[in-house]
Each structure stands twice: as structure tokens, then as C-alpha cells.
Amino acid sequence: MPQGNAAHVATHRVHHLADGRQAIFFADASGIVPEWVHDARALDPRGEPGELRYDRLTGDWVAVAAHRQTRTYLPPKDQCPLCPSVDGRQSEIPAEDFDVVVFENRFPSLGPALGQIPEVPTEQVPQPAYGRCEVVVFTPDHAGSFASLNDERARTVVQAWAQRTKELSAMEGIAQVFPFENRGQDIGVTLHHPHGQIYAYPYLTPTARKMADQAVKHLETTGRTLMGNILEFEQAEGTRMVVQGKHFSVFVPYAARWPVEAHLVPHRHVPDFAALNEEEKDELAIMYRDLLRRFDALYDTPTPYIAAWHQAPLAPKERAASRLHLQLTSPRRDVDKLKFLAGSEAAMGAFINDIPAETTAARLREVTL
């Protein structure tokens, strides 16, 4: 087990649930990970992976995971599978208390088996949905969100993302590791407990492929990284900047697609969480937490959002050109109005934004934390 050095680094320990899934317990710098846990549930054996089907019309992979139809859906607090196991009620976390826990999803879109899939199948037959899906539980408290975490806990979550990114990236067949969070029923969450997820894909998703291709082309043409140039442009232009720190900056992108959107970008060219140094992780934890607080402060009720942490693909050429960054988006375009993806966006991928990026940036800057 890694030992925490000084006041910054969380410790962690790997345990196993009743069906063999891994559960990794992370402790705050001031906390202690449990040495032993016991999952007393009688769980069915883990199933085989679902299917990956190749869409020849677009070149995209589509996962078919029929077993997810039975996953838990918006349970009451006393039945939440992400709360601690107490008073004889067994949850997915077999402990009465914890700081942060990451466990393999019981209803995965990808995995649990690992393996290689063909880049372009020669036959139209399903491939095993290799990969891994994990759940990241931010706190034992059922209420709240990442925005309500204290400094130490936010830092522990960042450490968990870094540790899991390193471990998942080394697994067979993995092409990219994607930590993300869906927050709010308007986004489509199925559990209200503060948590995120990590998908380790055996292929590059369509969005990841588009961004990687752009980044590689820019690097080969100019000798400079694309995200580095974008960051310099936004810092110099200024009107869309929200926050600038020592190691990270937050801005609303020039061509924002969503009513509320912000990108959080490291100043140093790093591919993923695992490549950040300790000082960068310290700043990132607080800057990200405070950015979420800005989103929530825009209205009188919490803002639904998707937090997408784009990490570099593992293939060497794409990895050299791509930079870790967050794309934080919300469909909320007014107090009681949401942007839905209809004909132009859903069918054609051609976004139409009602709110200029400069307006969103000004609103986020004006928030008092």
C-alpha cells in the first residue's frame, strides 16, 4: 500500500466485495484506511461482458449492455447503495465509515473482462465489451456534492483519480481512461449520492478521436500543442477568462456549445491526472471544487452538470499531442429552462448556443464564493 508523504497524499488499500469486485478505499491525509472489510451479501457471480457493435456507417463502436436495465434507479436514502453499511443494511461499501471509495460497477457498460478489440472489424459480428467501469464515491454523506467537500476531501478525490488513471491505463487493451460525473436528475443520474465514474475504454470514443486528430494535426503543423495555444489565446484575449491560478486556468471556450460551459486547463502540458505533481493536484482540487460552486451560485437551486475529464489517449502519437483538461457543461439556460439536444444537435452534431461565451464568463466571474 502506498504510504502518504506529508500532509498532501492520501493512502489507499484494495479490498474485495462478495462477488470478487475490487473496492479501493482512500483515506484523507489525516485519516486511516480500513485494514479489513467483510461484504456479507450473497451476490450472484459476475456476468460476462456485453457486446460492442461496430457501426460501419460512422466508424463508431456502440456498447450493448442489456444487463444494465436492472440497475438501481433513484432509491430512497435508506436504500442507497453508496452509503455506508450500517445497522444491518448492506450497501456496495462494506464499512460503517469511509473517506473516498472506488469500486468496480456492479452493472458495467464495459467489462469486467479485459482484452483487445480490432480497430476495424472485418466481419459484422459482435465483439466482447472489454474494459472497466468504476464508481468513485466522494463522501459517506448522502446529501451534498463535490462542491460541498472540504479542502482535504477534495484533494483525496483528485488523488483517487490519479491512482486509478495509472492503474487502469496499464490494463490490457485499454485505449483511454475517462473520469466523469453526472450531477442532477435533469442530467439523468440514477443515484443522488455524491459520486462520479471512470470508464476505461478499449477504443477511442468519437469525441476523443476528433480531439486527438485535431491535436496531432496542430502539433505536426506548428510544433506547438493545440491546447497550449488555446490557453494562451484565452489568457491574452481575456473576456472569457474566469479564474487564473499558478498551475491552472478556467475559461469559457470561444465556441461554447452549452448555455453554461467552462474548461479547466493545466498550464503545463500533461497527459492525465497521473502525470500531475503534488502541488498541481493541491491547486486543482480547490480550483475545481470552487468552479462547481460558481456553477451552483448562478441560480437559487443546484445547477445540473456533466464534468468530463478529457485525458490523453494511450497511443503514443495522440498522447504526445493531447493535454488533460476538464469540460464542465450544463444544459441550464435559465432558472426553469433546459437546453435539449433536438434535431440539429442530436441528429447532425451542429450545436446552436443561445448564450454567448462572454456572457457566461462574466456571470461566473461575478460569483462571490
Give me the active site residues, please.
195
Q: How many helices (H) and strands (E) does the chain have?
A: 7, 16
Q: What is the DSSP string of 199-239?
A: EEESS--HHHHHHHHHHHHHHHHHSS-HHHHHHHHHHHH-T
> How far apart (Å, rounded) are the C-alpha atoms in residues 31 and 8?
12
* Residue of 129, 82, 73 whose CA lies nearest to 102: 82
Angle separating helix axes 278-297 and 151-169, nearest 10 degrees: 120
234, three cell numbers:
484565452
- Residue partners of 241: CB distance under 8 A and separation at least 6: 234, 235, 249, 250, 251, 361, 365
For residue 196, give the 3-state DSSP assignment: strand
Q: Do residues 147 and 293 make contact, with C-beta atoms less than 8 angstroms apart? A: yes
Side-chain half-sphere exposure of 112, counting CA atoms within 13 A: 13
Amino acid 84 reads: P
Distance between CA atoms of residues 307 and 312, nearest Å: 16
**Distance from C-alpha of 187 to C-alpha of 120, rounded to nearest angstrom:** 32
Fill in the amino acid letter for 272.
D
Strand boundaries in the chain, DSSP class E: 11-16, 22-27, 51-55, 60-64, 100-104, 127-128, 132-137, 176-183, 195-201, 241-244, 248-251, 260-266, 305-310, 325-330, 332-334, 337-338
Instruction: Tell me, letter by letter, the H, E, C secondary structure of 139-156.
Output: CCCCCCCHHHCCHHHHHH
CB atoms within 10 A of CB 99: 25
